[in-house]
Amino acid sequence: MKKQWGGGRRPGILGPVFMTISTTGDVRSPATDLGFLLHKHPARAQRFPTSGGDAHVFYPEASPERCTAALLLDVDPVALVRGAGGGPGGARGKGARGGAHGPELAQYVNDRPYAASSLLAVALRAVFASALRGRCDARPELPGRALPLRVEVPVLPARGGPDLVRRLLEPLGWDVSAEVLPLDGEFPEWGDSRYVRLALTGRLRLADALRHLYVLLPVLDDAKHYWVAPDEVDKLLRAGEGWLPGHPEQELITRRYLVRRRSLTHDARERLELARLAEADDAEAAELDNAVDEKADTEERPVPLAVRRREEILRVLAETGARRVLDLGCGQGQLVGALLKESRIGEVVGMDVSVRALNEAARRLRLERMPERQAERVRLIQGSLAYGDVRLAGYDAAVLSEVVEHVDPPRLPALEHAVFAVARPGHVLVTTPNAEYNVRWESLPAGRSRHPDHRFEWDRAQFRAWAEQVAERHGYRVGFRPVGDEDPEVGPPTQMAVFEAEPAHHREDDRTAGADKTASRDASRDASRDAHKDVNADADEETKEEGA
């Protein structure tokens, strides 16, 4: 490999590990605000020791109109090799699998001093720690401001090529240029290398941009220079907050970042699913309940569908005579508030995975100012339907209003077990969109779901098949009701299943409780084993898709 510092580099000739971040501005909002955000003064060049070598920060240009910060990492390959090992603290390629580099890269001759990798990601975290956290004590208003950014990485290892680079970065709001570098510019007949020259442009918060790079640089390289310990899951979730749970390539990112360690990947997938559901619940209720533009629909629907759905739920609960009710996936508490207005309801429990949604529900319900007798009727608790929860046992009815479609299909059995086997209320009400009705929404493109977070949408036959199978497995009877005006061809906009526990099964003696606990343990063990199978299958599939 040839090494040339500075500009004028010919294609295929590698320079040092290097990246730049640029922004533009004007007199009112000067580009040099970048220095405040990075906590690095544009007039000074600074050096910082990191685990991979010395990191240098300097500004090739700094004016009110344009400012560029450069991060250069001077990697010592000899120190890397001498520090290599198979345990914590030693250099490691892919966890237990060893190095991820090809036969052309080994020991003292390798690409680490030249190519952006996990070494650069670690340097980013060490040098720009406050910027990654979105903190700027000198100018607190700056971190929340989206800036016109340009990020350039001259040499980036990309296992998966430019296509994978775009799949990872474009969903995050970046315009991506990924130019494949030749193996050697002097010998073009040798073909292309696995490296690209990356340029990203977009209007983002600087903290978000740095988090994207921190996670995705080692993901694209598909290797790490250090041992991956369990706390790496926490690092991934912190850096991926707000963007990773909903990323279309979340599975690939998680596997690669955690170097395909099965236990860590499984843990991350579970926690990311909870985070995704929490983010969905944090959205405004009106956005989720009426994600399709109601104005584009026919004028015979003056009452919002969300209101009609709550009215139908209250009507069915009155028919069942339920006095103690669970609202599972309660969001910001609209249904909880409606239930509290029903004097016959003695207790309401709202459960959600999102603390923010629960806090908003408490605010809307005015729990702090609610009379003591009224406050005794309601509880808001955090929890997930991915796990059995004994706090939910013994209630007359449970409502899952527009919840199941936000759950990934492989996780529906876990939800089913948590609700119908562990909680096992006397009645269960499940509402979900009717996919057949989507053709009646003029503002909804063909083939699209009503909300971006919907993992699926069932037609009437699919919903009926699922509900009948659940009822048969758990000793319930089930009936179906329309919600909203029925169209003679495609049915109602929303469909409801009403489950009723059969008397022979709806007993709360010690034998049943013991059986439920045993079933819960068995199901949890089976779900864990199935999840590990999913990870293995996904890894095999990824290997087939990505190639070497």
SS3 readout for 448-501: CCCCCCCCCCCCHHHHHHHHHHHHHHHCEEEEEEEECCCECCCECCEEEEEEEE
Q: Tell me how crowded residue 361 is: count the other CB atoms within 10 A of its CB.
A: 26
Q: Are residues 301 and 220 in the same domain?
A: no
Q: What is the CATH number of the domain that holds 44?
A: 3.30.1610.20
Distance CA 432, CA 421 (A): 21
Q: Give the integer Cα–Cα distance in Å for 77 and 114.
A: 10
DSSP3 helix / strand / coil % (the chain, rounded to 5): 40, 20, 35
- Inside any domain, residue 275: no
| Three-class DSSP category at 345 | coil
**Residues 88, 208 share a domain:** yes
Residue 378 lies in a domain: yes
Q: Establish if 187 belongs to a structural domain.
A: yes
CA 459 to chain centre: 27
363 and 455 inside one domain: yes
Let me know if residue 74 belongs to a domain: yes
Same domain assignment for residues 25 and 149: yes
User: By the 8 A CB rule, do 264 and 228 touch?
Assistant: yes
d(CA 466, CA 463): 5
How many folded domains does the chain comprise?
2
| 387 part of a folded domain | yes
- The 10s digit of each residue's pLDDT in 334-391 is 999 999 999 999 999 999 988 888 988 998 899 888 888 899 999 999 988 888 899 9
pLDDT at 306: 87
Helix (H) or strand (E) holding 177: strand 175-182
Query: Is 210 a member of any domain?
Result: yes
Residues 6+ apart with CB under 8 A from 472: none
Q: Which pair of structure tokens corresponds to residue 85?
A: 């090992």
> Which pTM was predicted?
0.53
Residue 347 CB-density burial (10 A; 0-12 exposed, 13-18 middle, 19+ buried): middle
pLDDT in tens, 138-186: 898 999 899 999 999 988 888 888 999 999 999 999 999 999 988 777 7
Q: Calculate Rg over the CA atoms of the chain.
A: 27
| Residue at 98 is within a domain | yes
> Could you say which of 183, 205, 228 is where a domain stops?
228
Q: Which structural domain, as residue segments, surrounds residue 41?
A: 17-228
Question: Could you give the angle at which helices 355-365 and 262-282 cross, rounded to 10 degrees?
Answer: 20
Query: Is the same domain home to 206 and 291?
Result: no
Taking the C-alpha atoms of residue 169 and residue 177, their distance in angstroms, rounded to an integer, is 10
Residue 530 belongs to some domain of the structure: no
Question: Do 208 and 79 belong to one domain?
Answer: yes
Per-residue pLDDT tens for 255-313?
898 888 888 888 777 777 766 665 555 444 444 444 444 444 433 445 788 889 999 99
